[in-house]
Amino acid sequence: MKKLNVSILQFPGTNCEYDTVWAFRRLGHETTLVWHKEEQLPETTDLVVVPGGFSYGDYLRSGSIARFSPVMKAVQAYAGEGGRVLGICNGFQILTEAHLLPGALKRNNNLHFISRIQHLKVVNTDNAFLNLCQKDEVLSIPIAHADGNYFIDDETLDDMERNGQILLRYCDAEGNPMVVNGSVRQIAGVCNADKNVFGLMPHPERAMESILGSEDGVRMLEGFGFA
């Protein structure tokens, strides 16, 4: 496994950055916290992670203010040059708002915050994120969100399906489709067409030890070191 330099962003209201630091350090990687007012990423960056939380209090719309932070211009440039970017929960929302990922995240269809360990079905493994997982494998990963209802128009979604951009779907323990928050086609995670920008609502950094209820997050995050 290659040792990575992981740059983890911090916005006002971010609350999962230290969990993310711990998760990647547990895998043997170096981590750097990058404040949202920074205009450049560390030169040694191998992976950018936009972690979960409530950036700017989720005012206006989740991620809609954070996308205008100075550091996001650097992230957009980094992604445009092929750099790998991972958005987790609020980070996924920020990446859609910044147009680094297609689609949008809406309020859950039950209008409630959902917090629990959730089964996920692996849809595609031909990418740096899930390359250590098996297609159709069922993982157990915590979710904690109020705005996780993924939405996109049917035509674009069909293109994403053909391109292998759908990464994860919500499911039950047997892998059957499960409606969790209203996400179109039960989508829990996607990537861009170039497969270097990834986003998911579940929290793999919270599934790194059995005492936490699951270790399935290890293989998800570990994949970047083997890509």
80, 14 contact by CB (below 8 A): no
pLDDT at 184: 98
State how far the Cα of 66 lies from the Cα of 80, in Å rounded to an integer. Answer: 19
Q: What are the residues whose beta carbons fall under 8 Å from the beta carbon of 102, sequence distance 6 or more?
A: 96, 152, 156, 160, 165, 190, 192
Q: What are the residues whose beta carbons fall under 8 Å from the beta carbon of 221, sequence distance 6 or more?
A: 23, 24, 27, 204, 205, 208
Residues 22-26, mean pLDDT to the nearest whole number = 98
Domains, the chain, in order of start with CATH, read 5-226 (3.40.50.880)
Neighbours of 182 (CB within 10 A): 16
pLDDT at 71: 98
pLDDT, tens digit, 9 for 90 and up, residues 44-55? 999 999 999 999
Neighbours of 104 (CB within 10 A): 16
Q: Which amino acids are annotated catalytic? A: 89, 203, 205
pLDDT, tens digit, 9 for 90 and up, residues 178-219? 999 999 999 999 999 999 999 999 999 999 999 999 999 999
- Taken in order 88, 60, 76, 156, is the CA torsion positive or negative? positive
pLDDT, tens digit, 9 for 90 and up, residues 134-180? 999 999 999 999 999 999 999 999 999 999 999 999 999 999 999 99
State how far the Cα of 63 lies from the Cα of 88, in Å rounded to an integer. Answer: 12
pLDDT, tens digit, 9 for 90 and up, residues 70-127? 999 999 999 999 999 999 999 999 999 999 999 999 999 999 999 999 999 999 999 9
CA distances from 133 to 137, 167, 197 (A): 7, 11, 18
